[in-house]
């Protein structure tokens, strides 16, 4: 296991770029029992992939859903 310690004063601009977040709107369907329900979530994330991971995590945690019970229709960057 590799442990890294960071000092904010010592990081270059390129190392800090990953900290910039954008707002993403994620639309899709989730399966609740035998019922399909449409959802719309807005999340802040570094990129589209992390936005999807946040939505999967939130829906899985709040509704006890597996990833196969969540279908993503679109991911759009919100201004």
Which residues, 6+ apart, have CB-to-CB distance to 31 below 8 Å?
A: 37, 65, 69, 70
Per-residue pLDDT of 14-60, as tens digits, reads: 554 556 899 999 999 999 999 999 999 999 999 999 999 999 999 99
Which residues, 6+ apart, have CB-to-CB distance to 20 below 8 Å?
A: 46
Q: What is the pTM of this model?
A: 0.73
Domains and CATH numbers, the chain: 24-78 (3.10.20.10)
């Amino acid at each position: 296991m590799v442990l890294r310690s960071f000092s904010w004063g010592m990081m270059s601009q390129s190392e800090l770029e990953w900290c910039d977040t954008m707002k993403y709107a994620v639309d899709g369907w989730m399966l609740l029992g035998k019922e399909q329900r449409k959802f719309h979530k807005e999340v802040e994330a570094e990129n589209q992939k992390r936005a999807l991971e946040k939505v999967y995590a939130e829906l899985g945690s709040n509704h006890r859903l597996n990833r196969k019970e969540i279908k993503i229709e679109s991911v759009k960057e919100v201004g």
